[in-house]
Chains A and B, each alone.
Chain A
């Protein structure tokens, strides 16, 4: 297999009874890449990621994560993979520092617990019992436990759900730091701006299928998509036209109007438009 690939998936399938959660996914994630799986709730994001993490068994397909089949994980492989699950597993009676220090003992090359507490922004809460943390702080603890072992590959399942905007920005900075240091990152999200801000490539998943994989600005051929030019006619109605050459169209309109075109706008589809079209088709 290709050494440059952190993850390679072919024909992945998983059903729960009659409910097909993952219906044939092919996916490659390169080493050092930040890859976002974007999709609505129930699209198959978590099932896919938890198969890659070694939590769930697949029904069919070939999967390789850091050169190992996650269905047969060993301790060495586990020490190279960091996992931030969707649900938080709380340790009610322990403090933040106690939990992080304890987990650092499981890894052969763990990071310094104090440093990790600092990095995730929990320095002021190190001595607090975990049940006193807010939702966002609990999520930071999850992230701390995910990175304490200095993973080569970090999975983050909807990491910023419940964050306020400022906390999300801080979290994004942390992810960028990790990526800059060479960590491969796979995150699931249903926030478009998060995928756009962080990911080198985005995979849109809907109905258990990977609808498209592309750089965020190329998703749905966004750059090449037809522009919509609209303007107001003298009668007061709004006219619009789709054009591959909007500049020429605007020049033509300007000539026809003898100068200023009333109510002129030129737009291209936003990431949200493209995304909603994609998941709409998949349904």
Chain B
């Protein structure tokens, strides 16, 4: 192929090497993170929300939940889970429709970029922001409200896999729900009520077992309840497991339900994802 310049102008042809697939995904991730961090609303609302909530909750409920355990120890689990859901489910469910509406996704489809690279970029962004946000949340809670961090490697391991599985499920569901929004503006209208209702019924703002039984059962169908429950096993003493609806922290069931939601989310993504808006044919 000829170079795309005037034949008269002598040009040195720089044969750029295209980065490998892994490098492409990392570049895409870096771009997504840059876009996220430069968008002030995203940073304030996605990263700031859980921190504001823990400040409010830990200040209101400064007492103990029982057995010498502070309320903070209970609420931090809900705030971590909410934070992870916000950065994955809510963030993607709101932003992808905007990008689709603007034609950004259509533009990517017109390039030789492998499709999965775009998804990988989103995942890298969600994981990076999720880790940063959780670390910030823990730092605030430890500094201001004497939060006790998990004391054993086993508990940190549980923390890691519950968070990873939960974020995966929420990311896939966020990508899937993005296809429900017909326009850029309707993204937040679709996603915000879903996540708000889930937060109320999954024991983020209240002690889960204080909720009506039917509400607990509805919540048990969705991932957030299980993320909170898994995290409670990390931040509360072992004896508190007896107060859970199932009589223990049920880590096996936590893994099962979150894993199932990963599968459901993946299937929905593969079958419903759209690169263009409806009016684009």
Contact = CB atoms under 8 A, between A and B. Distances in A.
Given A47-B281, A94-B31, A150-B1, A106 B7 contact: no
A102 B27 CA distance: 8
B104 A89 contact: yes
Nearest to A155: B110
A112 B14 contact: yes
Chain B contact residues: over half helix, strand or loop, or mixed?
loop
Contacts of B3: 111, 150, 181
Contact of B112 (A56, A75, A112): A75
Residue of A78, A89, A177, A183 with highest tally of chain B CB at under 10 A: A89
A180 B19 CA distance: 30
A55 B27 contact: no
A106 B111 contact: yes
A89 to B, nearest CB: 3
Interface string A92-107: 1110001000111111
A56 B7 CA distance: 36
B280 interface: yes
A109 B1 contact: yes
Nearest to B100: A89
Contacts of B276: 55
Nearest to A99: B31
Interface residues of A, number: 46
A106 B35 contact: no
Contact of B16 (A47, A89, A109): A109
A185 B16 CA distance: 24
Contact of B27 (A85, A88, A105): A105
B185 to A, nearest CB: 15
A181 B113 contact: no
Contacts of B105: 89
Contacts of B2: 181-182
Contacts of B34: 93-94, 98
Nearest to B111: A106
Nearest to B109: A55
Given A55-B280, A90-B102, A90-B104, A111 B114 contact: no
Contact of A16 (B6, B15, B281): B281
A76 B114 CA distance: 11
Contact of A110 (B16, B99, B103, B280): B16
Interface string B15-27: 1101100001001
A89 B107 contact: yes
A87 B7 contact: no
A85 B103 contact: yes
Given A93-B34, A94-B31, A109-B16, A55 B110 contact: yes
29 contacts: A53-B110, A55-B106, A55-B276, A55-B280, A75-B112, A75-B114, A76-B112, A79-B111, A81-B110, A87-B103, A89-B102, A89-B105, A91-B35, A91-B104, A93-B34, A93-B39, A94-B34, A94-B38, A98-B34, A106-B113, A107-B112, A149-B111, A150-B4, A178-B4, A180-B6, A180-B7, A181-B4, A181-B5, A182-B1
